[in-house]
Structure 1
Amino acid sequence: MGKHVRILGWLHITLGVIDLLIGMAAFGFLSGIGVLSGDLHAFGTLSLIGSFAGAMMLVLALPNLVCGLGLLRNWGGWVIVLAVILGIFNLSHFPVGTAIALYTFWIAWKLYDAQADHA
């Protein structure tokens, strides 16, 4: 089961990095459109919207990164709870997020079963 937990940790880190890349791309794309328009107000507005989008993607990426590191470093039982909560949110990121969410639920179920068997 430890192998699956490590794989899940890397998958959550990957999702976090993808979210960060999307945020940086949104910032660059919107700022670039503002520059190409030649209008100072359009540049300011689109840069502000791009900054907001980048900041939101950073906020969305941090829990996945923390969860991934926690799973890799075995920070405790709360990390699998965080993974399940993130799995619920990742269900809407079809198809990759959905597959990772289902894998998360399967691992959490197996860990719960193993804990119940030892009790």
Structure 2
Amino acid sequence: MNKNLFISVIISSFFIVALPAKAVETRCGWLHNPTPRNWYLIDKDGSWIISRQGGYEAKGIDNVPTYNEKEYVKTNGYYGYGCACMDVVTDSARSRISEIRGGESLPLSTCREDPNVPKSP
């Protein structure tokens, strides 16, 4: 192997290994779906965009937790909100959730009683 090519491969490998992985964090709050394909998570740090109709959509959107009727508030026909915790990767500069790894729905009372979660949407 050419010496310069060998050095380039070694240097490139170092940068690939040195890149930090995106941190997964657990965020809990109101999971709001006010209209088709519009999803937000509203937690202690504000409103996080999960998807916008005709535009942005987080990777792993299919991992959004599902609700039973009892723990979901309908505000617009089928659409509404519930309480959830989700394991996500965020883009704080854009107030977006860039990836959803998993999550679970919680009783509405969990968010209603948490002083760190804003009042329901």
TM, length-normalised to structure 2: 0.28
Greater helix share, structure number = 1
Larger radius of gyration: 2
Give the structure with the higher percent strand: 2
